[in-house]
Amino acid sequence: MNFDPEYERLKADRTKQGPHRLDTYLSNKHDELLARLFDPGTYTKKSSLVIVDGFAVEITDRQANVLRSAEEVRLVEKNQELV
Determine the Cα–Cα distance for residues 39 and 78; give it in Å rounded to an integer: 21
Q: Digits of tens for pLDDT over the chain (83 positions)?
A: 888 999 999 999 999 999 999 999 999 999 999 999 999 999 999 999 999 999 999 999 999 999 999 999 999 999 877 66
What's the pTM?
Answer: 0.87
Cβ-contact 43, 59 below 8 angstroms: yes
